[in-house]
A and B are shown apart, each in its own frame.
Chain A
Amino acid sequence: MNRFWSILFCLVPILGTATFVMAAWGLPPFQGAWLPKNYSVAGETIDHLFYLLNWISAVIFIGTGAVIGWVLWKYDHRRRDQASYFSHNTQLEIVWTIIPAIILIFIAFYQMNSWAETKMIRPTISQNGQTINKPPMVLVMAKRFGWEFHYAGPDGLIETQDDDYIENELVLPVGTDVVLQLETRDVIHSFFVPQLRVKQDIVPGMKQFIWFRGTDIAEMDIACTELCGWGHYTMKGRLRLVSQKDYNLWLTERRAMQTPAMDPDDPETPQVLEERLP
């Protein structure tokens, strides 16, 4: 009976690793069951880290799983009269403390740059001979339950009266660093684009900045990943990554369509600035 249980426990690492590997290589029936296709430069590093950590895990997973299987197979009480009597092994304990410690320290250092690039070092531009943070291209305003994307109007600045404003559709160029400014009108939301490996919570009273560089033309979902109420799951936006040329064309068309001045008393007019003032 012990051998039956040994096989059962061995199935955990065997099936577990098999499905992971099949999913990573896109083998049926697990094709597309792993990370979605990536469309950002920073996403490549994130994917690399994800797979690296999973491979390291897999080695430990298989190793420890094999030990469990082996002890169940080998040390059945029916085939042994006496258990060994030992309670420690100092050399072994030092080894299995130091080796994992080295692996963990390696992992800790290995990923620091990636985090810094994705979340800490904002892209810069040079203006009048000075290097400044790249200004945000779009103001993303989250609200229950949808997204508002505010593009700069003719003055070239966001957060001004002539902003152009679209609901739930974001159009951005590929091949250039895009900076987004995230704000919320009500509760906490989170801006998540799985295919760009981008996620940032949007907290009331705070401005968040995120940036990425799209690599290819594509269309993808934007999802909210912080619980925001009954319609949390309805907070769907679409992101279209287009070429720089198409983006410029699209912007020109938008500006041509835009009504020249918005009437502040019109209830349809988005109350961007006023509403957020205390």
Chain B
Amino acid sequence: MVNKVQHPELNHPKRTGHPVLRFLSTYVFATDHKIIGLQFLFSSLFWFAVGGMLAMAIRWQLAFPWSDMPIFGPTLFASEGGQIPGTFYNMLFTMHATIMIFFVIIPILSGAFGNYLIPLMIGAEDMAFPRLNMFSYWFMWPAFACMILSFTLPGFGPTSGWTAYPTLSLIAGDAQNLWILGLIFVGISSMMGSINYMTTILQMRAPGMHMFRMPMTVWAMFITAILQAFALPVLTAALFMQLSDRLLATGFFAPESIVVNNSITISGGGEPLLWQHLFWFYSHPAVYIMILPAMGMVSDILSCFARKPLFGYRPMIYSLIAIAGLGFVVWGHHMFVSGMNRILAISFMVSTMLIALPSGIKVFNWLGTLWGGRLFLTTPMLFSIGFVSMFIIGGLSGIVMAAPPVDIQIHDTYFIVAHFHYVLFGASVLGVMGAIYYWYPKMFGRKMNETMGKLHFILTFIFLNGTFFPMHFLGARGFPRRYADAYRFEEFQDLLPLNQFITLCAFLMGAAQLVFLINFFGSLIWGPKADRNPWHANTLEWSAPSPPPHGNFDFQPTVYRGPYEYSHPERSVDYWPQTEPPP
């Protein structure tokens, strides 16, 4: 590479002495967006493993209720013969959800890929506020500490579910306080990130990169940042209210005073439904925070490997905006049978039906992108097509549940569990995996192994369907979620074999992630070196060195065209980088 690093003294300021300090400032307290992105990536992958283990424990209990649970049983409950108590099961699903949502999917999408890609894709040197960016990562660590500490408290952690509905959460053990504090820290972290992303995207684009030349990834990150900035304060406020109910005996969420150990812990006069409204006012937009960035990245990957312009670039952006806007007025569909005003259910049903429309348009546009292309089925492409295929299932079951009369039957059953796992695992996690395989050469300068990648894909794809598809049947039968043992009910006794099948698939799906782990870490050492643009893609990050140095570009990028000029009829090569000057 002739023009590898033209200004090494600028990009890697030479320091004398203090090698420890240099290591700390480069890799630990880094202000470089790429290092921060990688920090988010590695910590999210660590928590992904923890959350996955918790999921395996949940599945064990559902398939072999009250039998000696591996690992947890002998270490924690040896005196009970390895049998877990009901409260431990509640901890398992509470922490599985909390970790997967707040420590894995949101940080890996916005934190890891948002950080890594936004400045590179818009041609900036770094984020607008590098130090704020550093804080946004380091504010995750108090949250990590809170969650790890909460595991050591009696009951082995919070047990009120990730939704933490009062009044149950008000009388829960001390671990609940740590859970609330942890989420407040996560919220502060996300807030710093979102302000940074919005400013960077609006202010720091390279010459020629006007808004409608930005790749879908950047658009999705931009919309997600706006969603976070507007929704998060509500959650943070609600969390503080719950904390003050628990610690200061206020009464936001409890209608009557609650007396524990002869002292008033909560004064009463509050409203349990208030929490649900505040919580879902954040947590429904959070659903889109957990999918929009993946949609953006998948759009870029599909277009690149179909060697074809993205179908309907502007409608794709408008539908992102529509999803984000409508996302603020659909929260009530989590509360059809909650006891809120029953007339309201109709309005929330209508808005929920409306939000299916932009989601559908996105699916059609992805299919339109593939149509007539010249498809290279690389690992990132397979994961992205998998994303579309699984998102269709998750979206369609969403329409079924959005009908309030139908929701009466399937609310809080495994049908819901099936639905959101299709969206969050089937779509978001497959999208994330595709993005890791796609941008790995840029991040580490090496390529991942394609054979292992395809093996990882096919095993994950088969077993994720084996795990989550049968849950629709469980749910239609009424099999409730959050039950440690539903087989006490005559109604659900015959569903044990189906649950055992699901558990088997879940274990195999978990095991398949080992292939990914080996590939990911092995390729850091043994992967073949990647050049700047191994996929022949158009977007700006591929014209920077792999991995890009501090400061990103070794030339001033100027943008001449949109990001999707693949297979242009007047070109001899089938791609046209955004930075290449016109002939």
Contact = CB atoms under 8 A, between A and B. Distances in A.
A190 interface: yes
Interface in A187-222: 187-188, 190, 192, 194-195, 197-206, 208, 220-221
A34 B256 CA distance: 41
Contact of A9 (B337, B385, B413): B385
A168 B309 CA distance: 63
A229 to B, nearest CB: 6
Given A36-B477, A233-B483, A205 B389 contact: no
A92 to B, nearest CB: 8
A96 to B, nearest CB: 5
Contacts of B374: 75, 77, 80-83
Contacts of B343: 120
B258 to A, nearest CB: 9
Bin chain A's interface residue count.
Answer: 35 or more
B349 A33 contact: no
B489 A97 contact: no
Contact of A118 (B405, B458, B566): B405
Contacts of B310: 87
Given A12-B389, A46-B409, A221 B85 contact: no
Contacts of A125: none
Interface in B312-367: 312-313, 315, 337-339, 342-343, 345-346, 349-350, 353-354, 356-357, 360-361, 363-364, 367
B409 A194 contact: yes
Contacts of A84: 308, 372-373, 567
B389 A9 contact: yes
A53 interface: yes
A278 B392 CA distance: 50
A104 B477 contact: no
Given A35-B477, A71-B373, A187-B171, A199 B408 contact: yes
Nearest to B461: A8
B171 A231 contact: no
Interface residues of B, number: 105
B413 A230 contact: no
A86 B372 contact: yes
A161 interface: no
B262 to A, nearest CB: 17
A232 B90 contact: yes
B409 A105 contact: no
Interface stretch (B38-46, B112-120, B137-145, B159-167): B159-167
B469 interface: yes
Contact of A65 (B392, B461, B476): B392
B388 interface: yes
B465 interface: yes
Contacts of A224: 480
Interface of B: 85-87, 90, 159-161, 165-168, 171, 254-257, 268, 271-273, 306-313, 315, 337-339, 342-343, 345-346, 349-350, 353-354, 356-357, 360-361, 363-364, 367-368, 370-377, 382, 385-386, 388-389, 392-393, 396-397, 399-400, 403-406, 408-409, 411-413, 458, 461, 465, 469, 472-473, 476-478, 480-486, 488-492, 494, 498, 564, 566-569, 574
Given A187-B165, A229-B168, 12 more contacts: A12-B389, A12-B465, A35-B477, A36-B477, A57-B397, A85-B309, A118-B408, A194-B477, A199-B337, A206-B255, A229-B87, A233-B485
